């Protein structure tokens, strides 16, 4: 838990929630706070399994997964390649487009490189590699454009700019290839930013989402496709906007969803009769390595 990314504090909340659940279940678990000495920490604290509660860079991008592969420690979440593909917003977009999975039109901007915007407003500017909506801006007016880019570039040297899609923001947790109940996210501010995600009362959640059965079916099928093409494993979460035409437009797949009091995966699990502690155990059961000898 913890780690080196701007999402460190959220990761600690997630990690402590998971640790408490494991202890309540009678398992021997210890918190490992990730820093630059993580290799030495793993050498001095032999473990059987790693329950990953890391968010952001070095936690969801394949780095810690690769280190655990070298130590021959099974871990939860996607493998090295799956983690890297899902975390890189540009690469995941390219894969979705290649497979014909609906996702917003986009373009890429690079730091210190001048380029005119092709897409008409409104657009969403976001860092290529970042989570928790950090550095994300919805640009509705031209005078917001430069500051939105500056904000996104403060987190990444590459920025992806997507056409804004108006619709229902949905989260679909996955138990392997099986979709969990769909959560409809309704931020009171109109934008699901960092504050709306992690501040109680800032967002309304509806689970199961109030959708027509054919809409729900399309969303579930799309989530299954995303899980496949991005090499999902375990219990990831696929985020979708259901547009005005009833088309599920994919935003991303989160390979290590949050497990905080306001998190979406535990909410979906409760709807299907799986309480938090049981969910933690089910996730733990999926721990594995990419490579075996």
Angle at 145 between CA 144 and CA 150, to 5 degrees: 100
Residue 239 falls in the annotated catalytic set: yes
- Please choose, from the candidates 230, 255, 231, 264, the residue with its C-alpha nearest in 3D space to the C-alpha of residue 77: 255
Residue 275 falls in the annotated catalytic set: no
Q: What are 96's two structure tokens?
A: 């979705």
Which pairing describes strands 237-243 and 123-127: parallel, antiparallel, or unpaired?
unpaired
The catalytic position among 5, 11, 129, 254 is 254
Q: Which uninterrupted H or E stretch holds 203?
A: strand 203-206
Query: Please, is 45 exposed, middle or buried when counting C-beta atoms within 10 Å of its C-beta (0-12, 13-18, 19+)?
Result: exposed
Query: Please, is 233 exposed, middle or buried when counting C-beta atoms within 10 Å of its C-beta (0-12, 13-18, 19+)?
Result: buried
Residue 132 falls in the annotated catalytic set: yes
Residue 215 falls in the annotated catalytic set: no
The catalytic position among 5, 132, 156, 175 is 132
Instruction: Please give the torsion angle defined by the CA atoms of residues 9, 160, 84 and 129, in that order, rounded to the nearest 10 degrees.
Output: -20
Q: What is the rounded distance in angstroms from the CA atom of residue 212 to the CA atom of residue 200?
A: 28
Q: What is the rounded distance in angstroms from the CA atom of residue 209 to the CA atom of residue 86?
A: 24
Report the 10 Å Cβ neighbour count for 44: 8
The catalytic position among 3, 7, 82, 231 is 7
The catalytic position among 173, 252, 263, 290 is 252
Residue 198 falls in the annotated catalytic set: yes
The catalytic position among 78, 131, 198, 232 is 198
Which positions are catalytic? Answer: 7, 132, 198, 237, 239, 252, 254, 258
């Amino acid at each position: 838990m913890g780690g080196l990314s701007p999402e460190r504090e959220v990761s600690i909340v997630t990690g402590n929630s998971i640790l408490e659940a494991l202890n309540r279940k009678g398992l021997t678990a210890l918190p490992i706070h990730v820093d630059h000495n993580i290799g030495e920490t793993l050498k001095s604290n032999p473990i059987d399994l790693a329950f990953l509660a890391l968010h952001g860079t070095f936690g969801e991008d394949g780095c810690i997964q690769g280190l655990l592969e070298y130590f021959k420690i099974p871990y939860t979440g996607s493998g090295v390649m799956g983690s890297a593909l899902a975390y890189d917003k540009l690469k995941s977009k390219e894969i979705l487009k290649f497979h014909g999975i609906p996702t917003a039109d986009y373009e890429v901007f690079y730091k210190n490189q001048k380029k005119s915007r092709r897409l008409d407003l409104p657009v969403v500017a976001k860092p290529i590699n970042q989570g928790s909506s950090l550095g994300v801006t919805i640009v509705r007016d031209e005078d917001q454009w430069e500051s939105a880019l500056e904000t996104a570039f403060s987190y990444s040297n590459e920025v992806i700019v997507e056409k804004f899609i108006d619709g229902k923001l949905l989260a679909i947790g996955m138990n392997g290839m099986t979709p969990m109940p769909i959560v409809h996210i309704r931020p009171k501010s109109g934008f699901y930013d960092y504050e709306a995600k992690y501040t109680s009362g800032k967002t309304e959640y509806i689970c199961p989402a109030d959708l027509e059965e054919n809409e729900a079916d399309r969303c579930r099928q799309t989530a299954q496709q995303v899980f496949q093409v991005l090499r999902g494993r375990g219990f990831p979460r696929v985020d979708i906007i259901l547009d005005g035409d009833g088309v599920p437009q994919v935003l991303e797949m989160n390979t290590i969803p949050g497990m905080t009091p306001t998190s979406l995966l535990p909410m979906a699990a409760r709807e299907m009769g799986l309480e938090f502690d049981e969910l933690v155990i089910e996730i733990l059961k999926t721990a594995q390595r990419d490579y075996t000898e």
